[in-house]
């Protein structure tokens, strides 16, 4: 199930960095309101970003915009080394406004990452010692290491746009966050605008206005993106019949599922699954 993740920042830190040595990466479908830079090493598997699924190999370095559901799932049982940096939306711009003009490069990078970016293996390897150094760095040294990482990312002329649809660029207000949390807990059910509005004590008209203003897209489109993302994972990772995938992802009928899936992915669910099978066979 999709969940919101808000990792706590260390006292005296305005952004978050973490380092993990894991036996494997399990499917953990989550989202948050920060830009996320993740460097993954030593393994391979699938990377799920919104309704996009890609194979990844070591080293894998991606920058994900706020509000995009995402996870990684390893295909083998070897160890992973993972480095994660979370930068609050609007944080870099506030640094510039406070006179820290060195942050302009970070603002420009995050602007390029509005649809997500995958960086070249060479850049990933160049960033690796800097990410490792973050583990034991003092507070002031952390900023220097962050800007050194940004310099490597900004210089990567082989970075690939991922075409993701991110969430709001600014933190959500409490009522919109309540709506999203309820949707993320119930999107595989027969969810309607009326149900969500009633749960949050709003009129349907007010819900629509808040969605359009806060997320830049209507309720129905956001809900369909959640469901298609879930369907992609099931098609990619299980042998469930397509009709069962539709039901498990919250679609009322197989026909509606096929129409929505083709509209978003440009192919049928069966074609999407065959694409996965062909990819595995080609390895």
55 and 113 part of one domain? yes
DSSP 222-244: HHHHHHHHHHHHHHHH----HHH
131 and 225 part of one domain? no
28 part of a folded domain: yes
Tell me the CATH number at 151.
2.60.120.10
151 part of a folded domain: yes
29 part of a folded domain: yes
Could you tell me the residue range of the domain that residue 203 belongs to? Answer: 174-282
166 part of a folded domain: no
133 and 242 part of one domain? no
pTM: 0.69
pLDDT values of the chain reduced to their tens digit, one per residue, 283 residues: 556 666 767 777 888 898 988 766 666 777 888 899 999 997 778 888 887 878 888 999 999 998 888 888 777 656 778 999 999 988 999 999 999 888 999 999 999 998 999 999 999 999 999 999 998 888 889 989 999 999 999 999 999 999 887 554 445 567 887 888 888 888 899 899 999 999 999 999 999 988 887 777 789 988 888 888 888 888 877 889 999 999 999 998 999 999 999 988 888 999 888 876 665 555 4
Q: Which residues of 101-126 are buried (b: 16+ CB within 10 A; e: fewer)?
A: eebebbbebbeebeebbbbeeebbeb
Within its chain, how far is the Cα of 11 from the centroid? 25
- What sign does the dihedral 34-39-42-48 (CA atoms) show? positive
Q: What CA–CA distance (Å, rounded) separates 260 from 142?
A: 45
């Amino acid at each position: 199930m999709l969940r919101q993740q808000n990792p706590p920042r260390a006292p005296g830190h305005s952004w978050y960095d973490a380092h993990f040595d894991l036996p494997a990466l399990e499917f953990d479908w989550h989202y948050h309101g920060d830009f996320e830079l993740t460097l993954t090493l030593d393994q391979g598997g699938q990377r799920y970003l919104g309704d996009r699924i890609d194979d990844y190999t070591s080293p894998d370095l991606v920058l994900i915009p706020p509000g995009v559901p995402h996870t990684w799932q390893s295909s083998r049982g070897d160890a992973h080394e993972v480095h994660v940096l979370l930068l609050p939306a609007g944080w870099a711009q506030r640094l510039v406004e406070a006179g820290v003009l060195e942050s302009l490069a970070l603002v420009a990078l995050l602007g390029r990452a509005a649809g997500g970016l995958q960086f070249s293996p060479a850049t990933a390897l160049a960033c690796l010692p800097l990410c490792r150094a973050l583990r034991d760095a003092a507070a002031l040294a952390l900023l220097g290491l962050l800007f050194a990482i940004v310099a490597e990312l900004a210089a990567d002329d082989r970075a690939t746009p991922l075409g993701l649809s991110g969430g709001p660029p600014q933190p959500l207000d409490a009522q919109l966050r309540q709506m999203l949390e309820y949707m993320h807990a119930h999107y595989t059910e027969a969810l309607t605008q009326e149900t969500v509005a009633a749960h949050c004590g709003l009129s349907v008209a007010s819900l629509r206005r808040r969605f359009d203003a806060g997320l830049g897209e209507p309720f129905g489109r956001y809900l369909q993106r959640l469901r298609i993302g879930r369907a992609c994972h099931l098609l990619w990772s299980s042998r469930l019949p397509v009709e069962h995938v539709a039901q498990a992802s919250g679609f009322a009928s197989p026909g509606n599922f096929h129409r929505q899936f083709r509209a978003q992915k440009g192919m049928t669910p069966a074609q999407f699954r065959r694409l996965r099978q062909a990819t595995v066979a080609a390895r």
